[in-house]
């Protein structure tokens, strides 16, 4: 039997609005409803973005607290806040999300933290990553290309990533100019330390094929409207839960069990117990 595969859903993202798809959840109420539907469909983790009153991407800890509390009341899906800068926020804003929330999970991009990329900022980032570990938060490091992955590996080899078994998200493609293909997974894996836990997300209609390739290679999967709105044949997906459900069924068909939140906590070493 294969090891359980973690399905993460990224339902909102930082950029898209209702003009892109009416089912993109933007308000707390919409995100909660999507969290419940995706949990029922097979997702164990929700990658959380929140928006401000103007509809733009926000890193406001208060908005995060509101959304995290509401999702937690509705279901047991694990919640992973983002620290994505989106060209708007600074490294200090990223750090403030972690310090204000001390969440179970968080996403971090090393290159976004290393701004400026000099010795002084490197020391600050090393200290900050130590804070993250000391708080019991499990970070997922994001790599948008093999060079970023190699930089993470160098930090780990030097002892600057505190985790013995880092968890990394490999991002295939972009919103524009780069189409994801399943073969892209192998481009990253050549540079991935064997000990690491890893997941894949992919921009564009080949999303499902790309994350299935990741699962077959021993990784985990992230799907959702942050990265893709379409089936492979060009038809729009109804909502995030449709893609989660399709992925869970395909994994089941080939004998790959889908991790539930309890499995996921154990796999990632999350500190907090499930609700009774």
In a domain, 2, yes or no: no
Half-sphere exposure at residue 222, Cβ-oriented, CA atoms within 13 angstroms: 27
Please tell me the distance from the alpha carbon of residue 81 to that of residue 21, in angstroms, as a whole number. 22
- Per-residue pLDDT reduced to its tens digit, 10-66: 999 999 999 999 999 999 999 999 999 999 999 999 999 999 999 999 999 999 999
Cite the DSSP H helix spans in the chain.
28-41, 61-74, 91-101, 110-113, 119-134, 146-157, 184-189, 207-216, 240-253, 261-268
- Average pLDDT over every residue of 100-122: 98
CA neighbor of 153 nearest in space, from 114, 124, 191 = 191
CA-wise closest residue to 59 among 14, 16, 24: 14
Q: With 60 as the cut, is the pLDDT of residue 275 above it?
A: no
Q: Give how many domains the chain has, as a whole number.
A: 1
Q: Is the pLDDT reported for residue 274 higher than 50?
A: no
Tens digits of residue pLDDT in 124-147: 999 999 999 999 999 999 999 999
C-alpha–C-alpha distance, residues 265 and 177, integer Å: 36
Q: Count Cβ atoms below 10 Å from residue 134 Cβ, excluding itself.
A: 10
| Residue 55 vs residues 25, 47, 163, 218: alpha-carbon distances, Å | 11, 18, 35, 37
Q: State how far the Cα of 12 lies from the Cα of 82, in Å rounded to an integer.
A: 11
Q: What is the per-residue pLDDT across 71-97, written as a single tens digit (0 to 9) for each? A: 999 999 999 999 999 999 999 999 999
- The answer to whether position 152 is within a domain reads yes
Whether 276 is covered by a domain: the verdict is no
Q: Please tell me the predicted confidence (pLDDT) of residue 177.
A: 65
Is 274 part of any domain?
A: no
pLDDT of residue 179: 76
pLDDT in tens, 166-220: 999 999 998 666 779 999 999 999 999 999 999 999 999 999 999 999 999 999 9
- As a whole number, the mean pLDDT across the chain is 95
Record the tokens describing residue 66, joined without a space: 């509101």
Residue 92 CA to residue 199 CA, distance in Å, equals 26
Domain assignment present for 190: yes
* Banded model confidence at residue 271, pLDDT cuts 50, 70, 90: confident
- Give the domain extent around 137: 7-268
- pLDDT for position 223: 98
Contact 50, 64 (CB under 8 A): yes
- 6 and 199 Cβ atoms separated by less than 8 Å: yes
CATH of the domain at 131: 3.20.20.70
Answer yes or no: is pLDDT of 264 > 90: yes
Is 194 inside any structural domain?
A: yes
**Average pLDDT, stretch 245-251?**
98
- 6-19 pLDDT, tens digit per residue, is 999 999 999 999 99
Q: Is residue 102 part of a domain?
A: yes
Q: What is the structure's pLDDT at 249?
A: 98
Task: Provide DSSP, 149-197.
Answer: HHHHHHHHHTT-S--SS-EEEEEE--SSS----TTHHHHHHTTS-TT-E
Q: Would you state the pLDDT for residue 174?
A: 80
pLDDT given at position 176: 65
CB distance 221 to 5 below 8 Å? yes
User: Domain for residue 275, yes or no?
Assistant: no
Identify the residue with better confidence: 224 or 272. 224
The whole-angstrom separation of Cα 146 and Cα 162 is: 21
Assess contact for 253 and 243: CB atoms under 8 A: no
């Amino acid at each position: 039997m294969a090891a359980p595969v973690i399905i993460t859903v990224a339902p909102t993202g930082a950029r898209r609005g209702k003009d892109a798809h009416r089912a993109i959840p933007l308000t707390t109420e919409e995100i909660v409803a999507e969290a419940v539907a995706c949990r029922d469909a097979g997702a164990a983790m929700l990658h959380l973005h929140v928006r401000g009153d103007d509809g733009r991407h926000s890193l406001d800890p208060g908005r995060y607290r509101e959304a995290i509390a509401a999702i937690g009341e509705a279901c047991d899906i694990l919640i992973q806040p983002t620290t994505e800068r989106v060209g708007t926020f600074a490294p200090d804003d990223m750090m403030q999300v972690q310090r204000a929330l001390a969440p179970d999970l968080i996403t971090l991009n090393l290159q976004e933290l290393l701004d400026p990329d000099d010795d002084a900022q490197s020391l600050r980032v090393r200290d900050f990553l130590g804070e993250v570990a000391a708080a019991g938060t499990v970070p997922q490091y994001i790599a948008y290309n093999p060079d970023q992955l190699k930089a993470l590996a160098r930090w780990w080899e030097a002892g600057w990533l505190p985790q013995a078994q880092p968890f990394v998200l490999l991002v295939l493609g972009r919103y524009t100019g780069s189409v994801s293909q399943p073969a892209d997974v192998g481009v990253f894996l050549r540079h991935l330390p064997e000990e690491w836990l890893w997941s894949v997300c992919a921009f564009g209609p080949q999303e499902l094929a790309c994350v299935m390739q990741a699962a077959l290679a021993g990784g985990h999967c992230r799907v959702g409207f942050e990265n893709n709105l379409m089936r492979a044949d060009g038809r729009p997906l109804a909502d995030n839960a449709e893609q989660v459900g399709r992925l869970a069924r395909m994994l089941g068909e080939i004998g790959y069990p889908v991790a539930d939140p309890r499995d996921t906590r154990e796999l990632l070493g999350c500190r907090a117990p499930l609700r009774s």
